[in-house]
Structure 1
Amino acid sequence: MVRAHGLRGEVVVELWSNRPERRQPGAELIARFPDRERPLVVLASRPFGPGAQDPVSRWLVRFETVSDRAAAEALRGAVLLGRPIADPDALWVDELCGARLVDPEGRPVGEVRAVLANPASDLLELADGRLLPLRFVVGRTDEGFVVEAPAGLLDDPPS
């Protein structure tokens, strides 16, 4: 959470999810702090600022047990986590980070170091520094994911 907003307990949340159910009334989230976790239930949410429909955007959120500015300030810096959603077709960031990538023939492509938000397509940052648009992930294996990239895209890592 970024900061408190106003006097009635709203907080500015930087949302890293394209799942609208994460911000709908009744959604159960976990606020993770360095030393503890706290459950929260969304009462209401609304877009905040430009780009509110982007995959990474800011929202004003009210939670059931947060009714004033002091309670909202106490949430500053917490990381909000949603409970797992059963969706066999979804790719989750925590699954991608550290995953091994192979081409359709099973040859190693690299290991994912991070997932970077990008308006056209999120990017997989590989351990060797190469970037690969997420849209080229076409399947799963027991060890990771299959990628089908255009010829030349993955030829040489940057120096």
Structure 2
Amino acid sequence: MQLVVARIGRAHGIKGEVTVEVRTDEPELRLAPGAVLTTDPASIGPLTIETGRVHSGRLLLRFEGVRDRNAAEALRNTLLIADVDPDETPEEDDEYYDHQLMDLDVVLTDGTQVGRITEISHLPSQDLFIVERPDGTELMIPFVEEIVTDIDLEQQRAVIDPPPGLIDDRAEIASARDAEDDGDAGDAGGARKTGDAS
């Protein structure tokens, strides 16, 4: 199985390094020196990682054969793709790869059908399930322990216990003041990682 693990950004310095937008929870595994990655567009790759380092909070990579700024800049916006065993699982029990979560049925704790996961959105504070309902509308479900109570890969379902108003479109706010108060509540916390972005 092929998974997108990073997107190449701008060149850094004059010796062929590039910044990368990491799209995996395991960069130390997927983006390690010696890793050979296919690319999109395919004509640019495969690329072999020669060195990697973190600079000012960003991962910088250098690829074999890329020795100057012009060659590095030519790689900009290229997607890096890793071959992953579809049966491989993350080390932590509460972590999942995106491909494991895609297309899971989303149900309430009483078994009521909510929809199907069509996308996982990775945000700085937490991950979100994008869930398509039977009527074609979409919901965003935070992937936090307080809401997503169980992931059952054998049954191909995610069980959720949503707070009032999260999935009920008929929830009404009593006044504008209440709406402002609700906006200060913050997120639910306890975000769990979801692994490689696909």
Please, what TM-score do these two structures have when normalized by structure 1? Answer: 0.75
Runs (4+) off by over 6 Å: none
Between 24-33 and 35-44, the greater mean CA deviation after superposition: 35-44
Aligned-residue CA RMSD in angstroms?
2.8
List alignment gaps of at least 5 residues for structure 2: 1-7, 172-198
Q: Which amino acid aligns with 2:29?
A: E
Equivalent residue for 1:139, pick from 151, 158, 168: 151
Q: CA deviation at 1:124?
A: 0.9
Post-superposition Cα deviations, 1:31-60, rounded to whole Å, max 9, x if no partner, equal 211x646112222212243xx3xxxxx311
Q: Percent identity?
A: 31
Q: CA deviation at 1:65?
A: 2.5
Residue in 1 aligned with 2:73? 73
Larger radius of gyration: 2
Residue in 1 aligned with 2:37? 29
Instruction: Tell me: CA distance 1:30–1:18, structure 2 relative to 1, closer, same or farther (3 Å).
Output: same
Instruction: Tell me: CA distance 1:96–1:36, structure 2 relative to 1, closer, same or farther (3 Å).
Output: farther
Please, what TM-score do these two structures have when normalized by structure 2? Answer: 0.63
The structure with higher relative contact order (CA 8 Å, sep 6+) is: 2
Q: CA deviation at 1:143?
A: 6.9
List alignment gaps of at least 5 residues for structure 1: 53-57
Could you tell me how far apart the structure 1 residues matched to 2:116 and 2:170 are? 15
Residue in 1 aligned with 2:187? none
Paired residues for 1:110-149 under 5 Å:
110-127=115-132, 128-135=137-144, 136=148, 138-141=150-153, 144-149=156-161
Q: Which amino acid aligns with 2:77?
A: G
Between the two proteins, the alignment pairs up a number of residues equal to: 151
Equivalent residue for 1:11, pick from 2, 18, 23: 18
